[in-house]
C-alpha cells in the first residue's frame, strides 16, 4: 500500500507544453508571437495535449509527416518534440528514445549534445533572415536527459540532467533561470524517489536560495526533513510557511496539510482527519487531502469509510481525483476489505479506461 503522504515526495516536474513553444532562446524582437505562427496546426496539438489525448497527438504528427503540412526545419523539430513527448506520456519509452536519437545528438559534447549548426536558425538565412540562435524546443533536451532512466539506465539520466543544469545556467535570457529551476526540481525528485535524501535536501535548498519565500518549496523541504526523522526541522519549515499569512484556498490547504502531517507523525489520526476535512470542505478536489484522510481512517480501523471516501471523490471530481496514488490505495483497501476483490477492481479498471487521459497508468489497479 502507498501509505506515505503523496505530498511528501518532491513532486516530479511534468514536461510542460510551454517548453515546446518557447524559442531556445531568441531575443524578444525575434520571438514568434503565437503558437499558430510558430507551426502549422500547433493550437490543435496543444489542445489535444492539454486534454491528455496523447494517442491522438501521435496520430496527428504521423499524418502531418505524410503530407506537405511541415515545410520549415523548425516545424519538423516542433512536431518531433510533440511526438517524443506523447510517446513518453503513453510509456512507449523506447520509441520516444528512438525519436530523439534520430536527431543524432553528439555524445562527445555532454555540455550541449545539440550544438550542430542544423539546429540553428542562422544556418537557414533564406528561410529565417531575421532569426538567430537555436530552434530546438527545450523539451527535446529534457526528454534526451530523462529517457535513459525509463529504460533502465538511471546513471546516464543523472549525468545528462546535471549536464543540462550546467548548460541552462550558462545561458542568458529570461527563460533560462526558470528552465534551470525546472531541471533542478527534476533532479531533486529523482534523488528523493531513490531515497537519497541528503542530496535532495541540498537541491531543494538551492531552489530556495533563489526563491526563499516559496511556500510550496518550504513545505517540500519539511516533507524531506520528516523522511530523515528531523521532526523539529520540519516543524520549523512548516511554521515559516504558516507565518506567510497568504490568502486563498490553495495556500490555506497547503498549511492545513502540513499541520495534518504533524498529527500523523504523532499518530494522532483523529486530529489529522479533522485537518483534512477542513481542507476538503474548502476544496473538494484536493486529492492529497482526500487520499490522506482515507489513509488516516484506515489506520483508525475505519476501512469502510475510507473506501467510501475515495469512491465518492472519484465519482464527484474524477478529473482532479484520478491519480495513480489514490487508485493504488483504493485497490489495496479493496484487497483488505473483500474476498472477491478481483471483480471490484476490474469494475474500477473498466471505469478508468472510459474516463482517464491517455497517460494514466492503468496497471496501478493490479488487475
DSSP codes, 263-283? HHHTT-HHHHHHHHHHHHHH-
What pairs with residue 134 in β-bridges?
120
pLDDT above 80: residue 7: no
Which stretch of DSSP H or E encloses residue 316?
helix 303-316
Close Cβ partners of 250 (under 8 Å, ≥ 6 residues apart):
283
DSSP conformational letter for 346: H
- Reported as a single tens digit per residue, the pLDDT across 282-333 is 999 999 999 999 999 999 999 999 999 999 999 999 988 889 999 999 999 9
Looking at residue 31, what is its pLDDT? 55
With beta carbons less than 8 A apart as the criterion, state whether 194 and 233 touch: no
- Reported as a single tens digit per residue, the pLDDT across 108-127 is 788 889 999 999 999 999 99
Instruction: Compute CA distances 36 → 73, 94, 100, 156, whole Å.
Output: 16, 30, 24, 36
| Mean pLDDT in residue range 2-15 | 37
Cα–Cα dist 336/300, whole Å: 14
Q: For residue 119, which of 92, 96, 94, 144 has the smallest C-alpha distance? A: 144
Distance of CA 32 to the CA centre of its chain: 26
Looking at residue 319, what is its pLDDT? 86
DSSP per-residue codes, 168-210: HHH--STHHHHHHHHHHHHHHHHHHHTT-HHHHHHHHHHHHHH
Looking at residue 13, what is its pLDDT? 38
Averaged pLDDT of the chain: 89
- Reported as a single tens digit per residue, the pLDDT across 197-242 is 999 999 999 999 999 999 999 999 999 999 999 999 999 999 999 9
Looking at residue 6, what is its pLDDT? 35
Looking at residue 10, what is its pLDDT? 32
Looking at residue 111, what is its pLDDT? 81
Cα–Cα dist 306/81, whole Å: 42
DSSP conformational letter for 338: -
Close Cβ partners of 327 (under 8 Å, ≥ 6 residues apart):
348, 352, 364, 365
Could you tell me what percent of the chain has a pLDDT over 90?
A: 81
pLDDT above 60: residue 185: yes
Confidence of residue 35 (pLDDT cuts 50, 70, 90): confident
Instruction: Compute CA distances 220 → 11, 20, 36, 201, 295, whole Å.
Output: 8, 27, 37, 9, 20
pLDDT above 80: residue 5: no
Amino acid at each position: 500500500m502507498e501509505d506515505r503522504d503523496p505530498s511528501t515526495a518532491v513532486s516530479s516536474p511534468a514536461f510542460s507544453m510551454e517548453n515546446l513553444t518557447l524559442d531556445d532562446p531568441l531575443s524578444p524582437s525575434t520571438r514568434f508571437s503565437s503558437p499558430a505562427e510558430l507551426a502549422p496546426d500547433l493550437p490543435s496539438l496543444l489542445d489535444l495535449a492539454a486534454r491528455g489525448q496523447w494517442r491522438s497527438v501521435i496520430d496527428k504528427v504521423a499524418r502531418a509527416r505524410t503530407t506537405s503540412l511541415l515545410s520549415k526545419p523548425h516545424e519538423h523539430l516542433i512536431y518531433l518534440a510533440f511526438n517524443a513527448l506523447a510517446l513518453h506520456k503513453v510509456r512507449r519509452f523506447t520509441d520516444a528514445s528512438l525519436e530523439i536519437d534520430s536527431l543524432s545528438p553528439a555524445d562527445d559534447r555532454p555540455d550541449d549534445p545539440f550544438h550542430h549548426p542544423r539546429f540553428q536558425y542562422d544556418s537557414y538565412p533564406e528561410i529565417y533572415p531575421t532569426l538567430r540562435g537555436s530552434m530546438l524546443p527545450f523539451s527535446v533536451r529534457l526528454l534526451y536527459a530523462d529517457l535513459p532512466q525509463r529504460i533502465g539506465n538511471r546513471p546516464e539520466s543523472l549525468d545528462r540532467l546535471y549536464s543540462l543544469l550546467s548548460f541552462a545556467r550558462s545561458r542568458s535570457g529570461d527563460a533560462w533561470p526558470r528552465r534551470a529551476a525546472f531541471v533542478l526540481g527534476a533532479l531533486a525528485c529523482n534523488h528523493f524517489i531513490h531515497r537519497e535524501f541528503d542530496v535532495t535536501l541540498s537541491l531543494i535548498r538551492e531552489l530556495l536560495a533563489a526563491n526563499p519565500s516559496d511556500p510550496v518549496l518550504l513545505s517540500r523541504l519539511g516533507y524531506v526533513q520528516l523522511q530523515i526523522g528531523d521532526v523539529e526541522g520540519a516543524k520549523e519549515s512548516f511554521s515559516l510557511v504558516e507565518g506567510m499569512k497568504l490568502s486563498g484556498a490553495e495556500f490555506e490547504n497547503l498549511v492545513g496539510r502540513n499541520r495534518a502531517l504533524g498529527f500523523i507523525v504523532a499518530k494522532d489520526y483523529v486530529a489529522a482527519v479533522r485537518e483534512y476535512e477542513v481542507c476538503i470542505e474548502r476544496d473538494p478536489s484536493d486529492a492529497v487531502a482526500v487520499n490522506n484522510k482515507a489513509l488516516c481512517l484506515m489506520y483508525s480501523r475505519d476501512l469502510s469509510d475510507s473506501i467510501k471516501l475515495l469512491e465518492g471523490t472519484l465519482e464527484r471530481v474524477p478529473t482532479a481525483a484520478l491519480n495513480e496514488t489514490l487508485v493504488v490505495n483504493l485497490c489495496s483497501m479493496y484487497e483488505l476489505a473483500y474476498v472477491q476483490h478481483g471483480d471490484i477492481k476490474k469494475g474500477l479498471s473498466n471505469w478508468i479506461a472510459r474516463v482517464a487521459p491517455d497517460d494514466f497508468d492503468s496497471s496501478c489497479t493490479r488487475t
